[in-house]
Amino acid sequence: MLVTGCLLLASFVGGAYAQSQPWAQCGGAGWTGSTACTAGWVCTYQNDYYSQCLQASSSATSRSSSPSSVSTTSSRSSSTVSSTTSTHSSSSASSSSTATLTGIAGTAPTVGPSQDTGKLPALGWNAWNAYGCGISNDIIYAAASDIVSLGLQAAGYEYVNIDDCWAEMKRDPTTQQIIPDPTKFPNGISGLATQIHALGLKVGIYSDAGTATCAGFPGSLGYENIDAATFTEWGIDYLKYDNCNVPGNWSDTYPPPGNDYYNSNSAIRYRQMTAALAAQSRPVQFSLCIWGAANVWQWGSRVGHSWRMSGDSSASWSYITEILTTNAQYLDYVDFYSHNDMDMMEIGNGDLTIQEQRTHFAAWCFMKSPILLGTDLSKLNSTQLAIVTNPELLAFHQDATIGAPAKPFAPTANGTTTTNPPEFYAGTSTKGTHVFIINTASSTATMGFTFSLVPGLAAGSKYVVHDMWAGKDLGTFSGSYSASIAAHDTAAFLVTPA
């Protein structure tokens, strides 16, 4: 979640004050509140999604314009990451050694994320898209129960994740621990975690790599060790770590010195929590909710298990095509323990057509993004449940032998992969070669591909084409194959030698 999602808080601040208060948000993509600060405070750029009221004397070193490596597109003003040439995430982001680094980068921890979790992209549910700040023990536990009763657990879904607004506004003055809101969680987070674990599921929590969360609750910057130990004590299995309320002294210049994003202030804020989690006895899957900032795809796997590639999702076809366009550029960074996160599912929300919901799910599967359902699960209809539990798409997503996603390819001799987003993708699993076709047009279209142009397939052979959605063979073909695909729908095929 980022600030634009916190409508409740934004409305309160905007209605109560003509100017943004000290340390409050005053700008960013999608921000509709005041862009002016009270006397003595300056609205200071932090990143494309967040500007903050800082004291005039402390904001002099902060930038007032957007970084050149980030641009905004469309009415959503969602971040479009730069077109940096992809190299695999396992390679170092920089050849610098700590001996040559100065300042905080010279002493920042370099420990990596746990290898006891996060090998495969996460499957689960998150509270934010459906409930925002209106969460409670009963709501979270009801979702966990639905995961079991609706067959989602049997399909592989395991995480039940609490988002923002679970805490009180102040830390415990003695222990400095974050205090769960006793009205929302009368048995604490640990009590809820016990309930969720009893169902055979895992539980996730939310915090922020700033002074406060996007909704204004305590952040973990400067309290990483205390919070990591607290989360472990409560039985937490997953941490979503957001990017709001970043103090001016933690802001970055773009590009950073030597283009070394791993040693940027943004990365170091997340690295501090990585080290704190690594010191605990319980492995935690670490999700970097950094909105595609600081070229996170280059260093994300050295710090966490997944990393957001954009701002918040919305239940719209425009969001789906925007994030596909962005993420398609950086699929070389995806592998085991290393996942570009396209944000939470919107299936069941808004006015997406069934075809658009199929594309939403299929693309998250074949790009191997974490899949966290984001709706009131009890309201999913049978068609939507069939989409999110499709066994063949989930098998590709969760393949324990091949970690790479499907990637764009040119389907015919005069074909192209430069459409935005690309429409043809191919990848392999333990079952064979897969082809995925997205019809981005607004009407039904016949779309096809030449077998010999699919990576891994040979010319002059016959192939069995299998429909992954329907779970049935469509026949044996040679040369090429084409299908009629509805507007905004995605076809998913397994192609094997006859």
User: What is the tens place of the pLDDT at every residue in 377-413?
Assistant: 999 999 999 999 999 999 999 999 999 999 999 998 8
Show the DSSP H helices in 279-316 as ranges. Answer: 296-299
CA 82, CA 338: separation in Å to the nearest integer? 19
* Maximum mean pLDDT: which of 18-32, 248-262, 325-339: 325-339
Q: How many CA atoms does the CB half-sphere of 293 hold within 13 Å?
A: 29
424 has pLDDT over 60? yes
Least confident of 99-108, 359-368, 435-444, 446-455: 99-108
Query: 133 falls in which pLDDT band (50, 70, 90)?
Result: very high
- Average per-residue pLDDT in the chain? 87
CA 372, CA 393: separation in Å to the nearest integer? 15
Residues 41, 54 contacting (CB under 8 angstroms):
yes
95 has pLDDT over 90? no
Residues 466, 432 contacting (CB under 8 angstroms):
no
CA 101, CA 267: separation in Å to the nearest integer? 14
Q: What is the pLDDT of residue 30?
A: 55
Higher pLDDT among residues 330 and 39, named by residue: 330
Closest CA to 396 of 354, 368, 356, 369: 368
Instruction: Report the sign of the C-alpha dihedral through residues 242, 163, 31, 323, in that order.
Output: positive
Partners of residue 432 on adjacent β-strands? 429
Catalytic residue among 312, 335, 341, 399: 312
Query: 207 falls in which pLDDT band (50, 70, 90)?
Result: very high
Query: What average pLDDT does the segment 166-194 reach?
Result: 98
CA 132, CA 140: separation in Å to the nearest integer? 12
Closest CA to 123 of 228, 232, 206, 237: 237
Closest CA to 152 of 491, 400, 387, 405: 387
DSSP string, 153-207: HHHT--EEE--S--B-SS--TTT----B-TTT-TTHHHHHHHHHHHTT-EEEEEE
CA 181, CA 154: separation in Å to the nearest integer? 32
Query: 157 falls in which pLDDT band (50, 70, 90)?
Result: very high
Query: 18 falls in which pLDDT band (50, 70, 90)?
Result: low
Taking the whole predicted model, whether its pTM rises above 0.95 is answered as no
87 has pLDDT over 90? no
Write out the two tokens for 447. 């779309």
Query: What average pLDDT does the segment 405-431 reach?
Result: 90
Q: What is the pLDDT of residue 46?
A: 59
353 has pLDDT over 90? yes
Question: What amino acid occupies position 126?
Answer: N
Whether 467 sits among the annotated catalytic residues: the reply is no
Query: 234 falls in which pLDDT band (50, 70, 90)?
Result: very high
Query: What average pLDDT does the segment 218-240 reach?
Result: 98
Query: What average pLDDT does the segment 365-375 reach?
Result: 98
Write out the two tokens for 343. 């944000």
Whether 242 sits among the annotated catalytic residues: the reply is yes
Question: What amino acid occupies position 93?
Answer: A
Ramachandran region, residue 191 (left: φ > 0; alpha: ψ -120 to 50; beta: rest): alpha
Q: What is the pLDDT of residue 302?
A: 98
Spell 417-429 as b/e; 16+ CB within 10 A means b.
eeeebbbbbbbbb
- 25-27 β-sheet, strand order: 25-27, 50-55, 41-47
Higher pLDDT among residues 45 and 12, named by residue: 45
Query: What residues have CB less than 8 Å from 99, skipping those under 6 apart?
Result: none
Cα radius of gyration rounded to whole Å, the chain: 23
Q: What is the pLDDT of residue 48?
A: 55
24-74 per-position pLDDT tens digit:
667 765 566 788 988 887 887 755 556 766 667 544 333 222 322 322 222
Residues 286, 305 contacting (CB under 8 angstroms):
yes
Q: What is the pLDDT of residue 55?
A: 64
341 has pLDDT over 80? yes
Least confident of 6-20, 169-183, 481-495: 6-20
Least confident of 27-41, 221-235, 443-457: 27-41
CA 48, CA 79: separation in Å to the nearest integer? 7
Q: Give the count of beta carbons closer than 10 Å to the beta carbon of residue 230.
A: 24
CA 235, CA 34: separation in Å to the nearest integer? 40
138 has pLDDT over 90? yes
Catalytic residue among 164, 237, 242, 343: 242
361 has pLDDT over 60? yes
84 has pLDDT over 90? no
Q: What percent of the chain has pLDDT over 90?
A: 76
Max Cα distance, the chain (Å)? 75
Q: What is the pLDDT of residue 414?
A: 76
Which whole-number Å values give the CA distances from 104 to 114, 272, 302, 324, 409, in the listed order? Answer: 23, 11, 18, 35, 43
